[in-house]
Amino acid sequence: MVQEKFENKRILVVDDERDSIDIVKIVLSSVGAVVYQAEDGRAALDICLQERPEVVLADISMPVMDGWELLNAIRGADGGEKVTVIALTAHAMSGDKKRIIDAGFDGYMSKPLTMFTFLEDLSQLLPVTGTS
C-alpha cells in the first residue's frame, strides 16, 4: 500500500507559499510521515543539517536561497548524497523537467499539485527501501 511507504519517513517541505506547505504537510502527516517545513532554502538547509530528513520537497523559486542552491548545499553536506531531493515547482515549461533532473534533483513534481494523486506520484519518486 502506498501509504505505508510514508510511515515515519522524515520529509522536509520547502516553499515560500505557506498554503503549499500546509496542504502537503496535512496530506503527508495523515499517512504517518514526520514533516518538517521551511519557507526558504537557508532555513531548509539548517533543518537538513539538524534533523536529517530522508526526503526534501523543494520549490525552485524562493527567497534567501533558491532550490538550485539548496540542492547543491544538501549534496555538499555530509550524507547529502543519501537525501532524496525532489523539485516541487511551478516551473512547468518545456524543458524544465529535464533541466531540473540534469541538475541533480531526484525527481520533479509540478504545481499546482493534484491532491488525489499526490501520494501515488510522490511514492513513485522515492527510492525502494527495505521495510521502511
Indicate whether 132 belongs to any domain. no
Residue 130 in any domain: the answer is no
Quote the pLDDT of residue 110. 87
3-state secondary structure the chain: CHHHHHCCCEEEEECCCHHHHHHHHHHHHHCCCEEEEECCHHHHHHHHHHHCCCEEEECCCCCCCCHHHHHHHHHHCCCHHHCEEEEEECCCCCCHHHHHHHHCCCEEEECCCCCCCHHHHHHHHCCCCCCC
The answer to whether position 28 is within a domain reads yes
- Tell me, yes or no, whether 38 lies in a domain: yes
CATH code of 106's domain? 3.40.50.2300
Is the pLDDT reported for residue 132 higher than 60?
A: no
- Domain assignment of residue 41, yes or no: yes
Structural domain for 6, as ranges: 2-125
131: in domain: no
pLDDT tens digits, 24-40 = 999 999 999 999 999 99
Q: Structural domain tally of the chain? A: 1
